[in-house]
């Protein structure tokens, strides 16, 4: 006897009237536009609550950097390499930006509480894989296997059982608190504050997300709250649009209680400095050298012709190694 799909899941359905759920014009349903949604008191209170509790998921910047420098178990460059690898895997699998942020958040919170043994760098790589795996399990609908997760130039390949053991260690150190308040929690709200019409909010949030990920390797940004980082990145994104170029940190301070213009301005300036330092410089254009020969110089004796033909391959190899193009071709 065959059982239909609807019969299999009938016990999981609630007793509500489906007409209430799927009705499009019921009088009891309040229709709200995106602009009205952000003006509702519940949204304002939610954002205020996030700002109030965001410090609980932050790593004390000064203490953390001092600890890293004193223990010498991991330095800023090793952390930057670990974060860079996490971002590569995030792009490789198309993970959400929040997955990468949570991975780095777990990484920093763990190192703030525990010290890794310095053994040729493999403990930092194992911690990176474990943090990325945990974050992917929290945020991603589909998670690659632990072996497939170790891609994009992973320096060491670990067995799945060792990664699972490291995940358990991370969970215990973090007290099983995997949810975190991130800058992404504020982007849509702040973008709406700049553009209430919603015309450019998509661009503002997308550009701000790129800026956050591009600065996640810098330990200097650990000093700022997620809400401050979100406000500063929205300002950077707004500066790319001519009609929003006059929005300043003083305007951002009025978006919500708990924001401070001095902190936002300082974070904004740091982002601009980092972007300027990381901007690739244009390499000078090298023009190929042209060989000019006269008709008389083309006449060689048999010996000279033999010597030229024997040395010609070496000259071509040397030019190819120097990234020059054969002019004859």
> Is 154 domain-assigned?
yes
Do 167 and 261 lie in a common domain? Answer: no
3-class SS letters over the chain: CCCCHHHHCHHHCCCCCHHHHHCCCCCCCCCCCHHHHHHCHHHHHHHHHHHHHHHHHCCCHHHHHHHHHHHCCCCHHHHHHHHHHHHHHHHHHCCCHHHHHHHHHHHHHHHHHCCCCCCCCHHHHHHHHHHHHHHHHHHCCCCCCCCCCCCCCCCCCCCHHHHHHHHHHHHHHCCCCCCCCCCHHHHHHHHHHHCCCCCCHHHHHHHHHHHHHHCCCCHHHHHCCHHHHHHHHHHHHHHCCHHHCCCCHHHHHCCCCCCCHHHHHHHHHHHHHHHHHHCCCCCCCCCCCCCCCCCHHHCCCHHHHHHHHHHHHHHHHHHHHCCCCCCCC
> Is 145 domain-assigned?
yes
Do 239 and 219 lie in a common domain? Answer: yes
d(CA 205, CA 240): 12
> Is 292 domain-assigned?
no
> Is 267 domain-assigned?
yes
What tens-digit pLDDT sequence spans the chain (329 residues)? 444 444 443 443 445 444 433 344 443 433 334 444 555 667 777 888 888 888 888 877 777 777 766 655 567 778 889 999 999 999 999 999 999 999 999 999 998 888 777 756 789 999 999 999 999 999 999 999 999 999 888 888 999 999 999 999 999 999 999 988 899 999 999 999 998 888 899 999 999 999 999 999 888 888 899 999 999 999 999 988 888 878 888 888 888 888 889 999 999 999 988 877 766 555 545 545 544 444 444 344 444 444 434 444 444 444 344 343 344 44
Range of the domain at 103: 57-173
Task: Report pTM.
Answer: 0.70
> Is 179 domain-assigned?
no
Do 194 and 269 lie in a common domain? Answer: yes
Do 205 and 253 lie in a common domain? Answer: yes
Do 188 and 165 lie in a common domain? Answer: no
CATH of the domain at 165: 1.10.472.10
Closest CA to 216 of 200, 204, 233, 203: 233
Do 62 and 156 lie in a common domain? Answer: yes
Provide φ and ψ at 50, rounded to 5°.
-65, -45
**What token pair was written down for 261?**
């213009």
> Is 9 domain-assigned?
no
Q: How far is CA 39 from CA 9, 30, 203, 249, 302, in A?
A: 39, 14, 21, 21, 90
Do 141 and 191 lie in a common domain? Answer: no
> Is 50 domain-assigned?
no
pLDDT at 319: 36
pLDDT at 55: 84
Q: Are 139 and 98 in contact (CB under 8 A)?
A: yes
User: Which of 173, 204, 222 delimits the end of a domain?
Assistant: 173
Classify the C-alpha dihedral 116-108-145-154 as positive or negative.
negative
User: Which of 135, 154, 173 delimits the end of a domain?
Assistant: 173
Do 233 and 152 lie in a common domain? Answer: no
- Number of separate domains in the chain: 2
Phi-psi region at 121: left, alpha or beta (left = phi > 0; alpha = psi -120 to 50):
left
> Is 313 domain-assigned?
no
């Amino acid at each position: 006897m065959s059982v239909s799909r609807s019969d299999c899941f009938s016990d999981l359905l609630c007793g509500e009237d489906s007409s209430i759920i799927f009705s499009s014009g019921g009088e009891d349903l309040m229709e709200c536009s995106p602009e009205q949604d952000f003006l509702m008191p519940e949204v304002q209170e939610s954002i205020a609550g996030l700002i109030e509790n965001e410090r609980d998921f932050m790593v004390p910047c000064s203490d953390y950097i001092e600890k890293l420098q004193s223990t010498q178990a991991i330095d800023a460059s090793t952390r930057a390499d670990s974060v860079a690898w996490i971002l590569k895997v995030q792009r490789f699998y198309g993970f959400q930006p929040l997955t990468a942020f949570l991975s780095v958040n777990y990484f920093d919170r763990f190192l703030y509480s525990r010290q890794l043994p310095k053994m040729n760098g493999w403990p930092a790589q194992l911690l990176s894989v474990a943090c990325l795996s945990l974050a992917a399990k929290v945020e991603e609908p589909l998670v690659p296997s632990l072996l497939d997760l170790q891609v994009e130039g992973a320096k060491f390949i670990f067995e799945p059982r060792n990664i699972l053991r490291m995940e358990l260690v991370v969970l215990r150190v973090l007290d099983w608190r995997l949810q975190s308040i991130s800058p992404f929690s504020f982007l849509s709200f702040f973008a709406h504050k700049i553009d209430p019409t919603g015309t450019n909010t998509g661009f503002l949030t997308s550009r701000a997300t790129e800026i956050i990920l591009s600065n996640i390797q810098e330990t200097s940004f650990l000093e700022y709250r997620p809400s401050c980082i979100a406000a500063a990145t929205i300002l950077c994104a707004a500066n790319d649009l001519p009609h929003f170029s006059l929005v300043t940190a003083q305007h951002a301070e009025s978006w919500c209680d708990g924001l401070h213009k001095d902190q936002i301005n300082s974070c904004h300036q740091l982002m601009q400095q980092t972007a300027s330092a990381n901007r690739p410089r244009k390499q000078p254009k090298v023009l190929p050298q042209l060989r000019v020969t006269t008709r008389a110089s083309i006449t060689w004796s048999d010996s000279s012709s033999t010597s030229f033909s024997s040395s010609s391959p070496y000259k071509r190899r040397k030019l190819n190694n120097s990234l020059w193009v054969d002019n004859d071709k």
